[in-house]
């Protein structure tokens, strides 16, 4: 899959997904494809997986969504680690 | 191979005219003026979704746009051939692409997108549609249908960039929903052509690569059996869709009716039909997941 989707004003030359984002996306795709584990062959599932991940590399709209959805590290998000109340 | 001037096109109008709608489900669009509400029928088309007529453009401007887009045709044809397992005819794709480019130049609206992005999508969708209609074997057509279906979902679902004020968890939910709908669309595209008994269908040609081996898109008997099972399961799950969504999916994937014809028949815009299609894919995914 390819081509930019609806919000075409996004920069098509925006940097590709980072390692952390790619791993997060891999997990999302695997979760979705698991629903078809018993109804499609491994060959078809592998082809779908490849195409889905490729779409995220190609499409700036999908890339932006994956980037926004990927959990940040604590030092990036600004969250403060607090001690557990249960001691 | 012919190219029809009113092949379905990307639904950029929804993106431009529905800036605050953020989800596949119509029920979460309630903050959008004129959008469906809990009271309205979820499938009712809002006024903003209507297709707009293409802008008037002089021959010189058309020519300029066509020249601008010519360099896109070959890379997209090569890319589609690769994605389909190098089984599509490159020259045929080029021919379809040239026709589609002219149509893209005619219908392009600069207020909605860049010409490059719009033309690329039009080229790809015309190539997919051509492969589906002038099939060289069901497997190739099925893969083209799968890719087309997934791109249609993305086009309709990602109307606006992610809202930076929303938390990661909201984007994560949305991402999961979009990926699920894409997967359901691909599964449907891959499997729907294989519904029916072997006797009802033409034999699948054995496609071979230039190296002489079985082409990567050539399905094994096991692949075919599973695709048929998947089609049966998905068709059964259609019963859980609202009537208009069910009609769109049934007619397009199992009846092989063109998307724009379905929209005309239902009296809705192509943009809204695409939106309903995306919602249907999300619901189908849920139905299939629940089933398992």
pLDDT digits (tens, 9 = 90+) for A12-22: 556 788 899 99
Q: Which of B166, B172, B222 sits opposite A41 (nearest CB)?
A: B222
B158/A62 Cβ within 8 A: yes
Cβ distance of A69 and B172 shorter than 8 Å:
yes
Quick one: which H or E segment has residue B105? helix B90-107
Q: Check CB contact under 8 Å for B288 and A36.
A: yes
**Residue A43 falls within a domain, yes or no?**
yes
Residue B132 is predicted with a pLDDT of 85
Chain B residue with the nearest C-alpha to that of A25: B175
User: Are the C-beta atoms of A2 and A60 separated by less than 8 Å?
Assistant: no
| B37 in Cβ contact with B30 (< 8 Å) | yes
Q: Residues B142, B226: contact at Cβ < 8 Å?
A: no
Element (H, E) at B170: helix B168-191
Closest partner CB to A52 (pick from B76, B172, B179): B179
* Residue A79, in any domain of the structure: no
Does any domain span residue A80?
Answer: no
- Going by C-alpha positions, the residue among A76, A39, A38, A35 that lies closest to residue A52 is A35
Query: What domain count does chain A have?
Result: 1
Q: Which residues of B touch A33 (CB under 8 A)?
A: 183
Nearest to B141 by CA among B151, B150, B132, B129: B132
Q: Taking the mean position of all CA atoms in its chain, how far away is CA B22?
A: 19
Give the H/E segment covering residue B174.
Answer: helix B168-191
Pick from B260, B261, B3: nearest CA to B130: B3
A33-64 pLDDT, tens digit each:
999 998 899 999 999 999 999 999 999 889 99
Please report the pLDDT score of residue B138 as a whole number.
80
Is A5 a residue whose pLDDT tops 80? no
pTM of the model: 0.79
Identify the segments of chain B with pLDDT beneath 50.
Answer: 1-7, 12-22, 26-41, 197-200, 202-203, 205-215
Query: Which one of A13, A39, A43, A45 would you mutate to disrupt binding with B, by most B Cβ within 10 Å of its Cβ?
Result: A39
The pair of three-digit structure tokens given for residue B167, joined into one six-digit string: 């938390």
Nearest CA in chain A to B190: A44
- A contact test, residue of B23, B152, B157, B161 with most A CBs within 10 A: B161
Q: Report chain A residues whose CB lies below 8 A from the CB of B187.
A: 36, 39-40, 48
Q: What is the pLDDT of residue B36?
A: 41
Residue A50 within a domain:
yes
Q: What pLDDT does B29 receive?
A: 38
Interface of B with A in 18-57 (CB under 8 A): none
Gap between the Cα atoms of A20 and A54, Å rounded? 16
- Assembly ipTM: 0.79
Give the residue from chain A lying closest to B142, CA to CA.
A44
Split at pLDDT 50, 70, 90, the class of A87 is very low
- Residue A17 belongs to some domain of the structure: yes
Q: Do B190 and A40 touch (CB under 8 A)?
A: yes
Domain that holds residue A37: 12-69
Q: Is residue A31 part of a domain?
A: yes
Q: What percent of chain A has pLDDT over 70?
A: 67
Output the pLDDT for position B56.
79
Say if A18 falls within a structural domain: yes
Q: Is residue A25 part of a domain?
A: yes
């Amino acid at each position: 899959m390819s081509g930019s989707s609806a919000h075409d004003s996004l920069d098509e030359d925006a940097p590709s997904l980072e390692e952390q984002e790619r791993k997060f996306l891999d997990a999302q795709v695997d979760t979705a494809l698991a629903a078809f584990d018993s109804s499609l062959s491994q060959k078809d599932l592998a082809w779908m997986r490849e195409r889905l991940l490729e779409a995220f590399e190609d499409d700036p709209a999908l890339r932006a969504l994956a980037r926004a959805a990927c959990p940040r590290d604590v030092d990036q998000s600004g969250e403060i680690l607090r001690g557990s109340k249960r001691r | 191979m012919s190219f029809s001037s009113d092949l379905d096109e990307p639904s950029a109008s929804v993106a431009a005219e529905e800036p605050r709608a953020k989800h596949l489900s119509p029920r979460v669009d309630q903050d959008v003026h004129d959008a469906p509400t809990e009271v309205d029928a979820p499938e009712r088309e809002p006024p903003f979704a209507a297709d707009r007529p293409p802008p008037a453009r002089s021959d010189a401007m058309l020519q300029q746009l066509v020249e601008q887009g010519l360099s896109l045709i070959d890379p997209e044809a090569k890319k589609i051939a690769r994605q389909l397992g190098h089984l599509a005819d490159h020259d045929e794709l080029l021919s379809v692409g040239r026709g589609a480019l002219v149509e893209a130049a005619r219908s392009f609206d600069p207020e909605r997108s860049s010409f490059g992005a719009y033309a690329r999508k039009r080229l790809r969708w015309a190539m997919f549609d051509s492969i589906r209609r002038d099939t060289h074997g069901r497997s190739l057509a099925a893969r083209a249908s799968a890719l087309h279906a997934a791109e249609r979902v993305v086009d309709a679902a990602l109307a606006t960039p992610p809202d930076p004020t929303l938390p990661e968890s909201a984007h994560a939910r949305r991402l999961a929903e979009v990926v699920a709908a894409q997967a359901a669309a691909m599964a449907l595209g891959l499997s729907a052509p294989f519904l029916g008994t072997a006797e009802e269908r033409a034999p699948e040609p054995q496609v071979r690569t230039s190296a002489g081996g079985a082409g990567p898109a050539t399905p094994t008997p096991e692949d075919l059996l599973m695709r048929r099972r998947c089609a049966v399961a998905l068709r059964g799950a259609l019963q859980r869709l609202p009537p208009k969504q069910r009609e769109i999916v049934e007619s397009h994937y199992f009846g092989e009716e063109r998307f724009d014809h379905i929209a005309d028949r239902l009296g809705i815009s192509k943009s809204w039909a695409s939106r309903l299609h995306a919602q249907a894919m999300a619901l189908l995914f849920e139905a299939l997941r629940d089933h398992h």
